Amino acid sequence: MHINIQRLWDDLSSTAQFGKVQETGLTRLTFDQSDKKIREWFTTTCRNLGGIVRTDRVGNQYARFFSLNDQQSTILVGSHLDTQPNGGRFDGILGVLAGIEVIRTFIDKQHTLKHAIEIINWTNEEGARFYPPMMGSAYACGHLDLNTVLQSKDKDGYLLRDVSEGFRSDLDVLTTIKPSCYLELHIEQGPVLEKEKINIGVVTSITGISWFSIRFFGKARHAGTTPLNYRNDAFIKAAKFTIEFQKYLIENSDNIIGTIGKIENIPNTPNTVPEETILYIDIRSANEEYLNNVGSVIEKIIRLKMSVNDFEVKKISSISPTNFSSLLISTIDKSIQEIGLTGRHIVSGAGHDALQLAKQIPTGMIFVPCEDGISHNVNENILKEYAENGANSLLKTILNLDEIIDE
């Protein structure tokens, strides 16, 4: 049994009109007009296939198929349909649309399943309009309270509660059904699978993420009248730290990756020696020990290697690494072998809705390559065969799970 790739590809192409930017990109932010259009498309398409479509209190969409009743064991399949500003056409979207294509294939083949299937579009995975990301899945799994979601504001001051009117309900759907497991198909968003010419990535875990700010202190002075040897320049300290921290990351590259992605300079004028410089660091690792130790590593670099004492380190946030179900990993492995595809185990460096689900039920993820590893970009792209391989892997994994899950 195989999916119809042309049908899936047509869906990917036609729905890319909702929020289209430039020729190949999308800007589809949570509950903007383009997001509401794709939500309406999801509802209409799934109902036309015989699905029971419901929303919950934060606008997550659930389309239920092959169901005898809500207490029938259910395989959840999902991802998200929102994007980054000037984002791509496949990040998240492939997973939802491939799930719908799998349903069409089961209907075409008149295949009977033991489990119900629930196709899910999670609200605000990207976090591009409202904070935090993975909002819908976090709420559904009990990791985020309703008030926090509804009171979240975008940059223009609009509340999620107000812009989502008509697209949410008073139901908590996930608590009314009996989920057995969760599967998510996604583009890799990195270069590994394509470079290694591997068809499928079997995701074993999602890295933990820690964010830090480092504030270096100096003295503001006139840039033209203060000789270099009389300066206490906060930015120079930050620059020296950046070089030393990069050395640490290179030495430990098998276990940790880090990015200094934001810098604030105070007073931030061309003719004043900086008084304060703040670095914002994103640290990711599948090894929790490395995540827990990175704060002390930062302090040691500054104190011992740089002999600087006027600084301040703060941990802004931290998410522990998430391991996926060994049963789902082995089932995905078996499924891709059975359909003749190559695969490898891979760690996801990006957060996904599957991270939230994995804390509650057995969860697995399937990655397909993306061209040049580009994502969150209008040039994000995948080949048609990547979509076909991913959707067929999803289908075969569901078939295999239908035989063994809950046994």
Query: Which sign, positive or negative, has the C-alpha torsion 238, 243, 244, 245?
Result: positive
Q: How far is Cα 341 from Cα 338, in angstroms, rounded to an integer?
A: 8
CB 174 within 8 A of CB 58: no
The string of pLDDT tens digits covering residues 88-128 is 999 999 999 999 999 999 999 999 999 999 999 999 999 99
Model confidence at 196: pLDDT above 80: yes
pLDDT tens digits, 152-168: 999 999 999 999 999 99
Going by C-beta distance under 8 Å and a sequence separation of 6 or more, which residues neighbour residue 59? 31, 39, 123, 136, 164, 167, 168
* pLDDT (0 to 100) of residue 52: 97
CA-to-CA dists, residue 256 to 123, 252, 294, 304, 317, angstroms: 30, 6, 10, 21, 17
pLDDT level of residue 281 (50, 70, 90 thresholds): very high
pLDDT score recorded for residue 407: 62
pLDDT band at residue 319 using 50, 70 and 90 as cut-offs: confident
Where residue 151 falls among pLDDT bands split at 50, 70, 90?
A: very high
Q: Is the pLDDT of residue 227 over 80?
A: yes
Span 19-25, average pLDDT: 95
The candidate with the shortest Cα–Cα distance to 355, out of 121, 61, 138, is 138
Q: Could you tell me if residue 22 is left (phi over 0), alpha (psi between -120 and 50 degrees) or otherwise beta?
A: left
pLDDT of residue 115: 96
